[in-house]
Amino acid sequence: MEINAKTKICGLIGHPVGHSVSPVIHNNLAGIYGQNLVYVPLQVEPGKLRRAVEGADAFDFLGMNVTVPYKSEVIPYLREIDPLAERIGAVNTLVRTQGGYKGYNTDMPGLYRAMCADGVRIEGEEIILLGAGGVARAIAFLLLDKGAKHVYILNRSGERAKALAEEVNAAAREISGRVPFAEAYALDEYGKLDDGRKYITVQATGVGMYPHTEHAVIEDEAFYKLVKTGYDVIFNPLETRFMQLVRRSGGEAFHGLKMLLYQGVIAYELWNGIRVSGEAAQEIYQKMEEALGV
């Protein structure tokens, strides 16, 4: 691609950004669709986020992705925020509008599209959610938004799980009157769940991420007899200890690389007003695997 005065610029702001595979997603999509667009990682030092957003606006950047540690910190510098991102409290995609950027969260729609692509249905399902941090909070609201029947939040700190359940139940009451939608337990209280059921289980902690790949947030193999499908948000490694334990007990298990793919795909769609085809998404997915040395 020839870069010229008409080239649209998109980028990734965060700290650090050096190992991101997002450029693989967006620059290859631009190639597939013949668009004069370039995507670059832009490291933003602590304390300089506001200047970074204002600078991107001044340079007429088409859009930006936002990664750690700025997904919540960026919100005050936006002109507008999408309702889902506001409810979650985190933004990972900025889209140019008249007079500034509108913030979206494509992580959670990306997870949903990834689950759909893998044949995992959440509508009407009872789901175990492992974790109560920022990612788990976003997933809990996604499950509510997409029509899950019930969610059981398990966390090392039962109090933190309880706080998240109360927050989600407040939203459920406001949206549809479905209360209680969420229940909270400490990790070692999983025995209180109905052992006659099989649950979709979403692993939303950082436990098991490279380089500490030998760990799972729950090691007890008895827990995994409850799991029919395990979905780990981690993509490095591509087979986590959690996934191994799920499969050892006869369940299906998936990693988070497709979530990363589809959050990028949705951002690209928002920036360019197009719908990325399944064939293009699969081509990008293969390029991501190559970039990660799979």
* Count of CA atoms in the C-beta half-sphere (13 A) of 22: 25
CB atoms within 10 A of CB 75: 16
* Selected catalytic residue, list 6, 8, 71, 228: 71
Phi, psi of 209 (to 5 degrees): -75, 145
8 Å CB contact between 34 and 282: no
Question: Would you call 126 exposed, middle or buried from its count of C-beta atoms within 10 A (0-12, 13-18, 19+)?
Answer: middle
CA distance 238 to 168: 30
H or E stretch at 49: helix 49-58
CA distance 236 to 212: 10
* Count of CA atoms in the C-beta half-sphere (13 A) of 199: 23
The verdict on whether 71 is a catalytic residue reads yes
Residue appearing with tokens 């059981």:
152
Annotate 156-223 with DSSP letters as a single string: SSHHHHHHHHHHHHHHHHHHT---S-EEEEEGGGGGGS-TT--EEEEE-SSTT-TT-TT--S---TTG
Active site residues: 71
